[in-house]
Amino acid sequence: MDDPQNIAINDDEGMIPVWSMVAAGAAFILVEYYFWMIAPAHRHHPASALGFRLYFNLSWGSLAALYFLMIGYVSKDAPRRAMSTRFWMLICFVMPAGIGAVLYFLLRQPIVSRCAACGTHVLGDFHFCPQCAYQLTASCGNCYRTVRTTDQFCTCCGHELAADQMPARLRVLGD
């Protein structure tokens, strides 16, 4: 498995790289330049309403900018999920009308992290490490589904969670 990039799950401001923001700004400016300077010289109709032109030009410019922001997001998100960054950036860039981004979001893997005990790469939805059986997240002792540390009973099977031998690091402190 590829070594996932060490980006915190809640580190949202780092998920869109600077190069992507610069490319998005340039794309927006180029689209606006085209629609305001080049395209009007080649029109065969009389002048259309300014409101319609403004809406149309800003919409297309925003879509072009979002296209590059999406590619930048994929470039940072794919390594966190141990997926091929170049492959998914190419798919997002080549597939028309955002279909590549839709495919990426439908097919992306869970976030990969390391087991605190043995260092094995584990998927974010694992409750136990597959190598050393270290408990990674709080789970019901009866049905083994994810529970919150504040729950008294399992929401799936009704099992009383206080009866489980959950590790102290997974229990809420101050009980």
Tokens representing 172 are 């809420």
Listed residue (172, 174, 173, 152) closest to 161, CA to CA: 152
| Segments making up each domain of the chain, as ranges | 12-110
Exposure b/e, 8-19, CB count within 10 A at least 16 = b: eeeeeeeebeee
Task: Say what the pLDDT of residue 68 is.
Answer: 92
Task: Say what the pLDDT of residue 84 is.
Answer: 92
pLDDT in tens, 50-72: 788 888 889 999 999 999 999 99
Task: Say what the pLDDT of residue 174 is.
Answer: 44
- Please state, in angstroms and rounded to a whole number, the distance separating the CA atoms of residues 81 and 3: 9
- Please state, in angstroms and rounded to a whole number, the distance separating the CA atoms of residues 78 and 84: 6
Tell me the average pLDDT of the chain.
81
Q: Enumerate residue ranges in the chain where pLDDT < 50.
A: 1-2, 173-175
Task: Say what the pLDDT of residue 175 is.
Answer: 44
